[in-house]
Amino acid sequence: MNISGSTRMLGLIGSPVGHSKSPEMYNYCFKKFERDCAYLAFDVTEENVEAAIKAIRTLNLRGANVTMPLKKAVIPYLDRITPAAEITNSVNTIINENGVLTGYCTDGMGFTGNLRAGGITVKDKKITILGGGGVSSAVSAQCALEGAKELSIFNRKDKFWSRLEAHAEVIRKAAPACKVNVYDLDDEEILKKEIAESHLLVNANCVGMAPLENESLIKDTSVFREDLTVADVVYSPAETKLLREAKACGCRTFGGLGMLLQQGAEALRLYTGDEMPVKEIEEYLYK
Q: How far is CA 12 from CA 99, 170, 270, in A?
A: 18, 29, 15
Is 205 near ligand NAD (CB under 6 A)? yes
By CB under 6 A, name the one of 127, 200, 230, 260 that touches ligand NAD.
260
By CB under 6 A, name the one of 104, 224, 235, 254 that touches ligand NAD.
235
Is 256 near ligand NAD (CB under 6 A)? yes
Region binding ligand NAD by CB under 6 A among candidate stretches 20-28, 95-103, 176-184, 203-211: 203-211
By CB under 6 A, name the one of 49, 195, 202, 234 that touches ligand NAD.
234
Is 259 near ligand NAD (CB under 6 A)? yes
Region binding ligand NAD by CB under 6 A among candidate stretches 16-24, 98-106, 144-152, 200-208: 200-208
| Separation between Cα atoms, residue 23 and residue 51, nearest integer Å | 21
Beta partners for 207? 209
Q: Is 287 a catalytic residue?
A: no
| Separation between Cα atoms, residue 156 and residue 143, nearest integer Å | 21
**3-state SS, residue 85:** helix
Is 128 near ligand NAD (CB under 6 A)? no
By the 10 Å C-beta count (0-12 exposed, 13-18 middle, 19+ buried), 27 is classed as: middle
Is 132 near ligand NAD (CB under 6 A)? yes
Is 117 near ligand NAD (CB under 6 A)? no
The β-bridge relationship of strands 100-104 and 93-97 is antiparallel
Region binding ligand NAD by CB under 6 A among candidate stretches 38-46, 93-101, 150-158, 192-200: 150-158
Nearer to ligand NAD, 173 or 219 (CB): 219
DSSP state of 248: H
Sheet with 100-104, side-by-side order of all strands: 37-43, 8-14, 63-66, 93-97, 100-104, 80-81
Q: How far is the CB of 205 from ligand NAD (least distance, A)?
A: 3
Q: Which of 21, 31, 32, 71 is catalytic?
A: 71
Is 113 near ligand NAD (CB under 6 A)? no
Nearer to ligand NAD, 99 or 211 (CB): 211
Spatial contact of 136 and 204, defined as CB atoms under 8 Å apart: yes
> 69-108 mask for ligand NAD (x: CB under 6 A)?
----------------------------------------
Phi, psi for 235 (deg, rounded to 5): -115, -5
By CB under 6 A, name the one of 233, 242, 278, 281 that touches ligand NAD.
233
By the 10 Å C-beta count (0-12 exposed, 13-18 middle, 19+ buried), 265 is classed as: buried
| Separation between Cα atoms, residue 277 and residue 281, nearest integer Å | 6
Is 230 near ligand NAD (CB under 6 A)? no
Contacts of 73 (CB under 8 A, 6+ apart): 46, 49
Site residues for ligand NAD per CB under 6 A: 110, 131-136, 155-156, 158, 160, 205-207, 209, 217, 233-235, 256, 259-260, 263
